[in-house]
Amino acid sequence: MYEFAWFFAGALVYKFLAHLIRTGASIIYLRKVQLHAVLLLAHAAEDISFIKRIKHSTLKESNLSEEQVKLFKEADQELFENWKSAAISNMNSSLPPKLHAALTLENWEETLKILDTAYNKKRTGL
């Protein structure tokens, strides 16, 4: 009878540890995927900023008034901020429900901190 109890206890411990290791490995893998997705978003944000600068310099050279150029700049900045929020929201909504709490990003600044941390680890060789 004791053998069965020990066998059953061992099976439960194995199942718990296997689930724990599998979840941990999934989080590590998804953090790497998340890092690459954040890197792509950062490159896209750089490109959008570059395009905005070109657009704004072209608008200044055109026959538009300063007030109209200012309105375009404000609209572009609002659109850019909305894009960043939507990108983070879409990334969060694509996470698996079981791992959502471990991988959720709050805002764009947190996203940039992830990139800074990854860059510093790569630079220092950690």
> Which tokens belong to 56?
């704004």
Mean pLDDT of 18-37: 91
The DSSP letter of residue 96 is -
Q: Which residues contact 23 (CB under 8 A, 6 or more apart)?
A: 98, 99
pLDDT in the model for residue 14: 95
Mean pLDDT of 25-53: 92
> Which tokens belong to 82?
């909305």
Of residues 102 and 17, more confidently modeled: 17
> pTM of whole model > 0.95?
no
pLDDT digits (tens, 9 = 90+) for 71-105: 999 999 999 999 999 999 998 898 888 888 888 88
- In this structure, what is the dihedral angle of CA atoms 21, 27, 118, 123, given to the nearest 10 degrees? 20
Q: Give the integer Cα–Cα distance in Å for 122 and 109.
A: 20
